[in-house]
Amino acid sequence: MMRGKSVLVTGSTSGIGLGIARAFAAQGANVTLNGFGDPHAVEEQRRGIEEEFGVAAAYSGADVTKPDEIAAMIGAAEDAFGAIDVLVNNAGIQFVAKVEEFPVEKWDAVIATNLSAVFHSCRCALPGMKRLGWGRIINIASAHGLVGSAGKAAYVAAKHGVVGLTKVVAIETADHGITCNAICPGWVMTPLVAQQVEARARATGKPFDAAKREFVAEKQPMARSTSPEEVGALAVFLAGDAAGTITGASYSIDGGWTAQ
């Protein structure tokens, strides 16, 4: 179903984005990876995907806080694969502090990475999708796109913004064969969350595993985190034919976090 399609996943050198890129490659899609990281490790991931799944994989080192670098990345993917059929906006960062102590430059960085980048990549990819008369945009929001938590002002504001932006893009593209949806994961044990668990372990003197159990249970009725593979499978479903009329939706995959 995805064979020959071109899929661009921002922030796919790690965690959820890498899981999503691998899930699409496993379905036969050609993928463009993006994100930071050690060049040798990134090249190993890229080549590993080509060898394991028999697809073409490209890499862009674009910094998604820079609109001109996003435009260049979209252009390069269109040139390499003829189109971008599926755009997954996944790159994201976190910073935790109370509102009155939140460093202004951290607020700006979280909004630029987690929200403005989604606008810019949609803005740049939509003309090509409209020409094609087909496209899928999948925005990785968060449970924090639906509910708040103390200490996460910028992240929660950005993710609520992504859920709203998703609805507008869905409405504007409804007659163009394009859908736009958000995925709202609960805890996924990636470096982004592991650093928060480590901070908890340090603050409480508890071992990492105990701090992790506490961390998950605090928010989720289900005591286990979601895997990047599970998020990847949901993204593949949303890109498929059966999801043709699903648009403007926000899919929770959160162990019951937002059911409460």
Known catalytic residues are: 155
* DSSP state at residue 225: P
- Angle CA 30–33–38, to nearest 5: 140
Site stretch for ligand NAD (CB under 6 A), options 73-81, 171-179, 188-196, 201-209: 188-196
215 binds ligand NAD (CB under 6 A): no
Nearest distance from residue 124's CB to ligand NAD, in Å? 14
Judged by beta carbon, residue 5 or residue 219, the one nearer ligand NAD is 219
Out of 191, 223, 242, 260, which residue is the one contacting ligand NAD (CB under 6 A)? 191
Binding mask 22-61 for ligand NAD (x = CB under 6 A): ------------xxxx------------------------
Provide the b/e sequence for 245-254 (b: ≥16 CB within 10 Å). ebbbbbbbbb
Binding mask 88-127 for ligand NAD (x = CB under 6 A): --xxxx-------------------xx-------------
Out of 128, 135, 161, 185, which residue is the one contacting ligand NAD (CB under 6 A)? 185
- Angle CA 163–169–174, to nearest 5: 125
Judged by beta carbon, residue 29 or residue 146, the one nearer ligand NAD is 146
The one-letter amino acid code at 55 reads: V
Angle between helical axes of 117-132 and 153-173 (0-180°, round to 10) = 20
Size of residue set near ligand NAD by CB under 6 A: 30
Is residue 67 packed enough to be buried (19+ CB in 10 Å), middle (13-18) or exposed (0-12)?
Answer: middle
Question: Interaction with ligand NAD in 228-257: which residues (CB under 6 A)?
Answer: none
161 binds ligand NAD (CB under 6 A): no
* DSSP state at residue 233: H
Element (H, E) at 128: helix 117-132
Out of 14, 30, 173, 252, which residue is the one contacting ligand NAD (CB under 6 A)? 14
Give the pair of three-digit tokens for residue 167: 């609805």
Is residue 169 packed enough to be buried (19+ CB in 10 Å), middle (13-18) or exposed (0-12)?
Answer: buried
Which parts of this chain interact with ligand NAD (CB under 6 A)? 10-17, 34-37, 63-65, 90-93, 113-114, 140, 142, 185, 187-188, 190-193
